[in-house]
Structure 1
């Protein structure tokens, strides 16, 4: 049996923690906010998958849709593995008590979402992630897993100083009072989520600052596909409000994206419902095209019109049906005086999901960068958004992320006890802050964070160019120098740890975008259009 540290409390981290504890491993789960503050908890739409393992045609359809959305850059073996393990893993969630919606006859109601050729999205109204999270958290209380809530991972501990890529033997963490503690372990599993807060507008929770990705890269890990950042096309756009995602399933239920001028004409009766959406001119699937297509089309339309948002139109749909199917969204819109099924909903794209991440295999092993040997790093694993399995290719198919998380987490649990490559080390060194001064002025941190997010939004967002990417690279380099000067001289605070990770993550995304020489999926450089 092993001592295992799991970083993160979304569906991936909880599945790993619960599974490892059930197998008798000693598990410590570290989460830098409260347990429910994960991207899983914010996921509305659902989880894609085929329930019937004998339905080969349905399996092949899901595989084809995933490959088409990913523009063929997917790892076919991984796509096959995830799709074919869906029945088993979805059954385990249902058995655990996840209450997916059913019709009056007890049959599961499957939703349609963009990029899918058939209805295959299991859901619990418009709070599927929260439903799954609630069930897993209830099981966590009885699991024996030690939970360090409000503790933040700072850096992975290497077996020897500067032994990059040679192994991981623990984690330095900051507790709720700001003190740094050494946690030794035989395995560290990163399930820490994404990096959405490198941008100004993101649907991600505040914890999504690229911590796990950058910790692993500092330990010598390899990343891949970081240029592919998915922007969700339908995010509530109200000045002064945190971006609030409006699930893809709304368009699956018939909601239509339109610009302000067209919606005005529609209400006057000068155009009909078929002429309402500019998306019909962009893609034959119209409002059911994939997220990369729709987000890019909205961004282009806003640049052309000068408007701050387009609208999601639902007034042609039955309002009672919408209120019952989307109660969370209905409630949120009502706070702003917007009536679902009656009023146009202002929307604009926002950063949503990092398709790229740490290079892993099907067992969750993290690989070292080529300069450090390119082999599996003993004692280090990753799962969920922080990892890149190759499932998504150049663009994630809607609702495939929760499926990937639960399938890959179950694989990791099955294999982690078999690994005999635990790195050897002496007593881990103490954290390096004993002789550092306290950070007395926090103003520059806020200013630097805003500058970073502004640079990424304007120069490394949905539309890119070589010149803008190079400008972003220069600005980020200057910011990094300023931030690292603070880092080397001050005791860490949560804000400083996050800012260091954000600037390094932003640089990696920008570098990957510059290195990508063709336009595909989520990456679009006007110089190569």
Structure 2
């Protein structure tokens, strides 16, 4: 058994930032990540990080965030995050992050839903630059142990039968297939989202909802899981995994069109934005918020029968685009496409889970009491995409996710250091102490995973209906029984742990979608139109 002060599960911006701060404060800290440190959604983030770097932009950033969230954001949380943004940007710079600059300072760019240029970036690989700097800082930190290829299995409670639960540690699956116990005074979940519950996602393979599932099984409160953000512009090529085309490209002037729009513009010329189907849906056109753009693209594809819409850049300077967006151009080059030349085929893909583990302003999780009141969950924290902080409301504003992660990671570290649970010496239970020798290898689970993804995509996707939601609920209940049967009788593997978590989170998302009776933000049920 390992014994430590703090376990951080996940190695994106949230996990690494909080881990290095806890270690710096003298706490023995372990980072558990199921693949390599760089295998995170942060590393895939292209566009940038939103921040009001000047005082005169503070209120506008607050207003833009609340407007994008359709009024469901927590105003106090929004103001807190925006007002702390500049200081956290300087923290990242101190950690070695290099943002692009121009003659006036930071090279700030525009993205959909923002009323001004406030997105800091590093070309079109901002997440990779942040991840590079934080990994380097983590590897050089004292008091910090990095356990790669270790997968979190479940949380350990001091007393799982108690009304008021407290964290005692975590079980993890080692690379050799053994389950190891880690005793900890605090566990910080930073596992990211759950994009892989859908067929098409921009997320890395690690995004299977592990943190939400673990926390919910341990009695933590979750909320707002009906709000799943689909990015409107993922590269749509037959047989290829969806590749994110950053919102910053539209901020730079790229325009969305359908086949009819493109044909008319090619024939008549003029301002391409005046031809975009987006003007039917929002006066901001291609720079509307993601919920509006994604649904509009989906509706146009269903109306025309096409499998994509087009992102047009041929009216922009090709050399400038390739310098600003080298990551995108590198991917396009593999398919014979060039920025500033051909129109790019794009379609919506699952991108970000707005809901998650319910937390307070310091990332401390909450739990239900027996009388249905909510109280704090001592020792359990959640930060980053896995958490629901109240910042995003019903729809996340572009590039606010990295900002939320770094603001809450800093606050979380400070709270952990000041409120660490006292050490305890009682014995912790071994994982599945009874019947462990009777477990066998499970059969392939690929068909079960495909069935789950098909159900979520077809019935609990971008646009929903009551009957399809209820059908999804029935199918997921059946799948849960099947997976539970496999889980109880099989040796643990990453494959079965992930599927178990994906089923759990899918059922939560579906239940939340059924419970939401009003269309708002990312939640759209055609029966409520």
Q: Which residue in 2 is equivalent to 1:471?
A: 471
Could you say which residue in structure 2 is the equivalent of 1:431? 431
Distance 2:271 2:176 in 1: 60
Q: Quote how far apart the aligned CAs of 1:161 are.
A: 3.8
Could you tell which deviates more after superposition, 324-333 or 258-267? 258-267
SS of equivalent residue, structure 2 residue 418: coil
Q: What TM-score do the two structures reach when normalised by structure 2?
A: 0.97
- After superposition, the C-alpha distances for 1:445-476 in whole angstroms (9 at most, x for unaligned) are 11110010001001111100111111110111
- Report if the CA contact (8 A) 2:163-2:369 is conserved: no
Partner of 1:283: 282
Counterpart secondary structure, 2:365: strand
State the partner residue of 1:503. 503
The reply on whether 1:131 has 2:129 as its aligned counterpart is yes
Give, in angstroms, the shift of residue 425 of structure 1.
Answer: 6.9
Partner of 2:18: 16
CA contact (8 A) 1:31 1:150 kept: yes
Post-superposition offset of 1:492: 1.3
> How big is the shift at 1:377?
1.2
Structure 2 counterpart SS, 1:85: helix
Normalised by the length of structure 1, the TM-score is 0.97
The residue number in structure 2 matching 1:388 is 388
- Give the conservation status (yes or no) of the 8 Å contact 1:169–1:186: yes
Change (3 A) 1:164 1:260: farther
Question: What pairs with 1:174-323 in structure 2 (closer than 5 Å)?
Answer: 174-269=173-268, 273-323=272-322
Partners of 1:241 and 1:476 in 2: CA distance: 27
Aligned to 2:411: 411
CA contact (8 A) 1:78 1:389 kept: yes
Q: Point out the more displaced range, 411-420 or 364-373.
A: 364-373
Partner of 1:121: 119
Q: Evaluate the alpha carbon distance shift between residue 526 and residue 397 of structure 1 in structure 2; reply closer, same or farther with a 3 A threshold.
A: same
The residue that corresponds to 1:86 in the other structure is 85
Matched pairs, number: 523
The one-character-per-residue Cα deviations of 1:29-72 (angstroms, maximum 9, x if unpaired) are 000000000000000000000123xx2x3100000000000001
User: Do 2:12 and 2:41's aligned partners in 1 also have CA atoms closer than 8 Å?
Assistant: yes
Report the counterpart of residue 150 of structure 1 in structure 2: 149
Using the TM superposition, give the Cα deviation of residue 265 of structure 1 relative to its aligned residue in structure 2, in angstroms.
2.6
**Pair 229,415 (structure 1): closer, same or farther in 2 beyond 3 Å:** same
Aligned to 1:398: 398
Equivalent in the alignment of 1:441:
443
Shift of 1:511: 0.2
C-alpha contact (below 8 Å) 1:100/1:123 kept by paired residues: yes
User: How far apart are the structure 2 equivalents of 1:415 and 1:379?
Assistant: 10
Consecutive unaligned residues in structure 2, runs of 5 or more = none
C-alpha change, 1:399 and 1:320, in structure 2 (3 Å) is same
Could you tell me whether the CA contact under 8 Å between 1:168 and 1:423 is conserved in 2?
no
CA distance in 2, matches of 1:142, 1:389: 30
**Which residue number in structure 2 is paired with residue 341 of structure 1?**
340
Deviations 1:180-201 (A, max 9, x none): 0000010000001001111000
Query: Separation in 1 of the partners of 2:6 and 2:292?
Result: 41
**CA–CA distance in structure 2, aligned partners of residues 488 and 378 of structure 1:** 29
Unaligned 5+ segments in structure 1 are: none
* Bigger mean CA deviation after superposition, 423-432 or 509-518: 423-432
Contact 1:47-1:402 at 8 Å conserved across structures: yes
What RMSD, in angstroms, separates the aligned Cα atoms of the two structures?
1.5
State yes or no: 1:36 paired with 2:38. yes
Match of 2:5 in 1: 3
CA distance in 2, matches of 1:181, 1:220: 22
Name the structure 1 match of 2:377.
377
